Amino acid sequence: GDNDVSQTSLPLPHPAIPIENIPEEGFSHSDSECSTAPWCISVPSFSTVAARLNLAWSAKDYTRLIIQALDELGYGRSADALREESGLSVNHPAIAKLEKCVLEGEWDEAEEHLGHLWPRDNQDSVWALYTVRRQRFMEMLQGGNVDAAVEYLQKRITPLGLEASKVHDLAMRAVLSHQTLLPPSASRGGVVAGQDRGVVFSQLCSHMPPHMLLPKHRLRTLIHQSLDFQAAQCCRGDTDGPWACLLVDCCPVPLPNVPAVSLCELEVHKDEVAAPARCFL
């Protein structure tokens, strides 16, 4: 009848293969869990769907993109429900802890969380440590603790092995601070530490790998790329606007005033020919 809902199996172009790293425990629905009511649709587990569709990308990443998109669209409760059901989160748990430590100036704890995000000997890890320690050094100068700042520079920043120009710049700032010659933007009272710390955290985020921290609006970016690609592949004469429909593919639409039928043929010309009146090539 009209109310009957059946589940059909579509043929696949290739045999389904198991997808690795799919959170089996995060998705509880299965083919047998649906009731026999006529309005109930059987919902297979996510891993079953992924195997049927022969997904080449990670189902975990796909789920993370959906959670992020739900949050950005304002569907917080739906995003929370998907987090709980899948057992996944958009970003690495250490990132939220790192943000809290940086904004509150808990520098030792911040360095500890950095160790969970980058390997210790990684070049990005050294850069991240320098970024955090440089901010701590600058706040020492802003607080008037010049001697402590110089000692911190010698014991905690110089051993990082960075280029000498960076260390010399910080040392010069310490000297100028002693002479009260720092510019207003770097003077003791000229910068609010909390604002500086927010910039520091943003700088750290810009170097985090995507499996730790998703780029903002990632799903939206992928959709725009898809729409742009479709628009580039088809010629639409109905409008000059960008293709923005998510429900159907972009299809060519002929221009109404462009002739599509030849009315006459010129056969004796040897070069370019201007079309005579009322004759279209």
| pLDDT tens-digit readout, 221-243 | 999 998 888 877 777 655 566 67
Q: Look over the chain and give the mean of its residue pLDDT values, rounded to a whole number.
A: 74
Other CB atoms within 10 A of residue 169 CB:
10
d(CA 229, CA 243): 10
pLDDT at 19: 35
| Radius of gyration for the alpha carbons in the chain, expressed in angstroms and rounded | 30
Cα-Cα-Cα-Cα dihedral of 276, 279, 280, 281, to 10°?
Answer: -80
| pLDDT tens-digit readout, 79-115 | 999 999 999 989 988 898 999 999 999 999 999 988 8
d(CA 59, CA 63): 6
Angle between helices 76-86 and 59-72 (to 10 degrees): 160
Please state the rounded mean pLDDT for residues 149-171: 91
pLDDT band of 129, cuts 50, 70, 90? very high
Q: Per DSSP, what are the bridge partners of residue 236?
A: 253
* 0.75 surpassed by pTM: no
Percent of the chain with pLDDT over 90: 31
Tell whether the model's pLDDT for residue 203 goes beyond 50: yes
Half-sphere exposure of 133 (CA within 13 A, CB side): 26
